[in-house]
Structure 1
Amino acid sequence: MAIRRGVSNLFSKSIWCSSYKGLVNNAIFSRDKTTKAALSIDGEQQHRAVSNILDLEGGEATFSGITSKELLKTLLMLQMVSFEPVVDLSIKTLTSPLMQSPLFRAPLHHVVKRTTYSHFCAGEDVADASATLERLWQLGLRGVFYYGMEDAVDNASCDKNFTVFLQVINQSSKLPPDSVSFGCVKISAICPIQLLEHVSSLLRWQHKNKEFKLPWNEKGLPILAAESPTHSVQTMPEPLTKEEEHDWTLAHQRLWKLCRACEIQGMPLVVDAEYMSLQPAIDTIVYAAMLEFNKGCPPVVYGTFQAYLKDTKPRLSLALKGASEHGISLGVKLVRGAYITRETAVAASYNVPSPIHPSIQETHRCYDECAAIMLEEVANGKGSLLVGTHNVNSGKAAASKLDALGLSRSDPRVQFAQLMGMADVLSLGLAQAGFRVNKFLAFGPVSEAISFLVRRAEENRGMLGNTLLDRRCIRKELQRRFQQLIRI
């Protein structure tokens, strides 16, 4: 997984401005002209038109300003990422018990910082991430700060993480207007993880036993669908203790303060999805925040749905129905999912089928269907969607659907997002076509970002095609330059 900053990352800080600024700024399309063109054609013709608009193979223009040596190094590093044994070894190393030893951990952190960390993370603190975001903004791309801390164990760590999240939100006011599209928070960083697990167990028990009452959860949107697994609760869990009820209230207060800060800044707050063992509790607190802050449109609070789970589409349908009944706008971030290994292992420990779709094709289908559903909601003025995808086909499908519905490509209710270091060619292609595109900029000390890096490694192991387009474009550009050199 060795990936050097400025080499494997197509948005290297030393290259970004000179390579792309003019390209992106000159490529934004007039909305009126684009809408008329999109609505004048149908089905297959429209798909071809959007595919042509998303020029993801324009290597000469895309890679102008990047030397052939840098491109060659980038290609070699991306090739290594796509080599499964290297990814497997990286995961084993980062999760090895040897990481507990300072003698092993210190040199490994040094190596990780110069390689994988530099590729997927924007820096160690808010200042580093802000510098990265300002470069993105000059390229016509927006950013989302993503503090990589998670799994808090007590209120002290929750308060520490909350302070950083709030600092990040407030930092947006010091950056170019509209360059930061969203705030971002992980509930496991502002609520003790043991409490989230306990609350989730109680919610699953209530789902199995409708007469079971939870006084602290009397109103809200539906959390679990008929397809949602409940095998983890075989007997009634103990009720929350007074201390846990107090901590649950504190978690709500932390999220409320972050929502209020985002509301003041005029930007939404995205709440990440996490492990299935925590997700019911996360959804509960997120939906409660939606009831408070999403009374207008666009919404302030976005929840996240992971399309690799079998119950995602039914849960999305329930959430939309509940939002309609409560008269609020549903904000949705749609992703494929990042916990494949963990969820499969947990299901195996209970000797039950995995909650994840049995094939990547079914995950793709679920993702695209959920995206289409939400885009129609947006067109009807009832929701907002953040299309979080590294998959080119899904990106094109969402772009095509957006045009077919007559939505503006600059409409803030529909945005696209990719992680820093992943699907960079897709990011540029969407931005050049006039869509609103974000890069999630993970930041934090190396020691605190290991879990995030492991998930990125697992994603690359499970979806090796994520780098295929970038590698093909680089090869094509290197070949073009070589042929040009020969002619000279």
Structure 2
Amino acid sequence: MANRFLRPNLIHRFSTVSPVGPPTTIIPEILSFDQPKPEVDLDLSDQARLFASVPISTLLRSTAILHATSIGPMVDLGSWLMSSKLMDTTVTRDLVLRIVKGTFYDHFCAGEDAAAAARRVSSVYESTGLKGMLVYGVEHAEDGGACDENIQKFIETVEAAKTLPSSHLSSVVVKITAICPMNVLKRVSDLLRWQYKNPNFKLPWKLNSFPVFSGLSPLYHTTSEPEPLTVEEERELEKAHERLKSVCLRCQESNVPLLIDAEDTILQPAIDYMAYWSAIMFNSVKDRPIVYNTIQAYLKDAGERLHLALRESEKMNVPIGFKLVRGAYMSSEAKLADSLGYKSPVHDTIQNTHDCYNDCMSFLESLKWIRHCGHSSYA
């Protein structure tokens, strides 16, 4: 994955809103974040060097765990076990949790709290030169009370990030699904889609943001005009903005970049809307962005949406940052689209996804500076 950001007023032109790549733009200057470059000469192709500090036993265990998680029945068995009556008995529950902690949990999670995860980020950087992203691994909150609890954990994560040298950490990650109730995100996404289809459709609660759709974006989720947000839904949306604002402020005060994670296309319009709103609020304060958004290159509209956001950021003189990934919801996206009689919003082949990712990456790499990082979570 890659994190990049652009200085506004240096993107001089876009030929069309089409898949990104060097031929369509004049390449802007890249900011340096005033962060020292790693002392380690990082070469991601030199796997022997990257993993030299990792014991063979750990590598073998990690390989076995990754293979296990790629087997559908194994995942189903684990899900059944964790929700079965065996977890109601102290002896079996303790046994299962010890096994899980020593295998899957230790592999995928950096620690049980923010401080432990921060220590893992530091150790990874010192041994490999890879920066880490620090994330509190919770999402899909159902009500405002859960959101209030979650935002405190995200703020604790920022506090833990402050203890690390800036050279060790890429960003703190926040999941909008953890700080805004799921039903509100779905409703906001529906209303944003309907407004894109019908530009005269008014959304009185809508704040300033960047475009979140392109001509290739899937709109089939919303087939008829949605009801306006209720008073309670508007109140919950406003509270979600305040939660996001609170963690952005803490990141700004601490000089810690904040990355907003992506979701499936049912929710992504609302997430992009909130991400770009916060970027406008906080990235215009300094000459470097605090807020980053995520672009999923396996989506057919990824390149267009990246261009649209960059072009709008230039118009508004707002620096903008991105994390580029391939994506994680291929099966569910395809099933939903098929059930509604539409083609999947995901590229038809893995090679098309690679091509889109590489085109976006080539465009970003041509901006001369890139940060490679890992992902460290705790729960």
Q: Which of the five TM-score ranges fits, normalised by the shorter chain?
A: 0.7 to 0.9
- Does the 8 A contact of 1:185 with 1:269 survive in 2? yes
In the TM superposition, what is the alpha-carbon distance from 1:279 to its structure 2 partner?
A: 0.5
Query: C-alpha separation between the residues in 2 aligned to 1:272 and 1:324?
Result: 23
Letter aligned with residue 256 of structure 2: M
Structure with the greater alpha carbon radius of gyration? 1
Aligned partners of 2:164, 2:61: CA distance in 1, in Å?
Answer: 35
3-state SS in 2 of match to 1:216: coil
Report the Cα distance in structure 1 between the residues aligned to 2:304 and 2:247, rounded to whole angstroms.
29
Match among 59, 67, 71 for residue 87 of structure 1:
71
The 5-angstrom pairing of residues 131-150 of structure 1 reads: 131-139=119-127, 140-150=129-139
Superposed displacement of residue 93, structure 1 = 2.3
Find the aligned partners of 1:133 and 1:80 in 2 and give their Cα distance. 21
Identify if the C-alpha distance between structure 1 residues 160 and 369 changes in structure 2 by more than 3 Å, giving closer, same or farther.
same
**Deviation (angstroms), 1:183:** 1.5
| 8 Å contact kept, 1:152–1:191 | yes
How far is the alpha carbon of 1:138 from its aligned partner? Answer: 2.4
How far, CA to CA, are the matches of 2:300 and 2:144 in structure 1? 34
Query: Structure 1 residue 443 and structure 2 residue 378: aligned?
Result: yes
Paired letter, 1:198: R
Distance of 2:216 and 2:371 partners within structure 1: 29
Partner residue in 2 for 1:28: 41
What pairs up with 1:221-240 in 2 under 5 angstroms? Answer: 221-240=210-229
2:298 and 2:72 map into 1 onto residues whose CA distance is 21
Q: Mapping of 1:461-476 within 5 angstroms? A: none
Shift of 1:128: 1.9
Q: Contact conserved, 2:162 with 2:256, CA < 8 A, in 1?
A: no
Q: Which AA in structure 1 matches 2:41? A: I
Deviation, 1:373, is 2.7
Q: Tell me which amino acid in the other structure corresponds to 1:330.
A: I
Contact 1:81 1:87 in 2 (8 A): no
- Aligned to 2:324, the other structure's residue is in SS state strand
Tell me if the contact between 2:298 and 2:353 (Cα under 8 Å) persists in the aligned partners: yes
Distance 1:73 1:266 in 2: 34
Distance in 1 (alpha carbons) for counterparts of 2:258 and 2:209: 19
**Which residue of the other structure, out of 349, 357, 373, is the alignment partner of 1:359?**
349
**Contact kept in structure 1, 2:209 and 2:274, CA below 8 Å:** no
1:152 to 117, 123, 141: 141
TM-score (norm 2): 0.82
Query: Which deviates more, 209-218 or 332-341?
Result: 209-218
Q: For residue 195 of structure 1, what is the amino acid of its counterpart? A: V
Other structure's SS at 1:143 match: strand
Greater share of helix: 1
Give the SS at the match of 1:415.
Answer: coil
C-alpha distance in 2 between matches for 1:177 and 1:158: 28
In 1, the alpha carbon distance for the partners of 2:324 and 2:167 equals: 21
Query: 1:122 is matched with which residue?
Result: 110
Provide the rounded CA distance (Å) in 2 between the counterparts of 1:64 and 1:80. Answer: 20
Question: Gaps (5+ residues) in structure 1?
Answer: 1-24, 30-52, 380-406, 417-437, 445-488
Matches within 5 A, 1:383-402: none
Distance 2:334 2:98 in 1: 32
* Cα distance in 1 for residues equivalent to 2:338 and 2:45: 43
| 2:151 maps to which of 155, 162, 165 | 162
1:7-406 matches, cutoff 5 A:
27-28=40-41, 55-57=45-47, 59=48, 70-71=55-56, 74-75=59-60, 78=63, 81-82=66-67, 87-96=71-80, 99-104=82-87, 106=93, 107-139=95-127, 140-217=129-206, 219-295=208-284, 296-376=286-366, 379=367
Cα distance in 2 for residues equivalent to 1:442 and 1:175: 15
Give the conservation status (yes or no) of the 8 Å contact 1:343–1:354: yes
Amino acid at match of 1:236: E
Shift of 1:348: 2.1
Q: Which amino acid aligns with 1:279?
A: Q
| Structure 1 stretches of 4+ moved >4 Å | 61-66
Percent identity at matched positions? 37
More displaced, 341-350 or 315-324? 341-350
Q: Which residue identity does 1:343 align to in structure 2?
A: E
State the alpha-carbon separation in 1 of the partners of residues 289 and 312 from structure 2: 15
CA distance in 1, matches of 2:261, 2:321: 12
Report deviation, 1:179: 2.4
Partners of 2:297 and 2:173 in 1: CA distance: 19
Partner secondary structure for residue 71 of structure 2: helix
Pick closer, same or farther for the CA change 1:113–1:324 going to 2, 3 Å. same
Q: What's the CA shift string for 1:138-174, capped at 9, x where partnerless? A: 2233222111100001111000000000011012222
Residues 295 and 325, structure 2, Cα contact 8 Å, conserved in 1: yes
Q: Once superposed, what is the RMSD of the aligned Cα atoms? A: 2.4
Greater RCO (CA < 8 Å, at least 6 residues apart) = 2
Relative to structure 1, the CA distance from residue 341 to residue 104 in structure 2 (aligned partners, 3 Å threshold; closer, same or farther) is farther
